[in-house]
Amino acid sequence: MAKKARRGRPPGSKNKKKAGAGAKAGNYAKMDVGQLKDYIESLQDVLARKVSDQRAYFEDQLAQLGGYVSTKASAALKAVTPGKGRAGKRAKPKPKYQSKKNKSLKWTGRGMLPTWMREEMKGTKLTKDAFLIK
């Protein structure tokens, strides 16, 4: 049988987990209130700096994509604008066949044979050509 895939680090890997995220700050329960406030402020400064760095990076990436998107959008807009190319839908096809019994029943000749035509042809020598509109 096939072995199941392992999740996580492979056995024997060297990147073991550290004691905690704030290992350099020590144990928080033993810290004084002043020390905790200073530590929190330093963490907030680090977080604010990282957020501003990421924001600058993503704004730069977005600015680079802006030119790419604008050219694609203008090409798409040109393709959609009316007056160029085919305008509107195709015309409906005119009916080619008409029922002998009920003149309001018509068929264009596309798709499956209608039930009214099948029923009228059943038991008679009528063919599809007999229902042609002249």
Q: Structure pTM?
A: 0.36
- The Cα 65–Cα 60 span in angstroms is 9
- The answer to whether residue 49 is domain-embedded is yes
Residues 74 and 113 in one domain: no
Rounded CA gap, 87 and 115, in Å? 35
Tell me, yes or no, whether 34 and 76 share the same domain: yes
Residue 109 and residue 96: Cα distance in Å, rounded? 6
In a domain, 109, yes or no: yes
Q: Does one domain contain both 102 and 58?
A: no
The answer to whether residue 125 is domain-embedded is yes
Assess contact for 117 and 107: CB atoms under 8 A: yes
Encode pLDDT of 35-61 as tens digits.
Answer: 999 999 999 999 999 999 999 999 888
Percent of the chain at pLDDT exceeding 90: 48
Q: Which pLDDT tens digit goes with each residue over 92-109?
A: 999 999 999 999 999 999
Domain that holds residue 49: 28-80
Residue 34 in any domain: the answer is yes
Note the pLDDT of residue 41: 94
Specify the pLDDT at position 112. 95
Judge whether 111 lies within some domain: yes
Domain count, the chain: 2
Cα 38 from Cα 42, distance rounded (Å): 6
CB 116 within 8 A of CB 104: no
Structure-model confidence comparison of residues 10 and 32, the more confident one? 32
Please indicate, yes or no, whether residues 71 and 105 belong to a single structural domain of this protein: no
Quick check: is 7 in a domain?
no
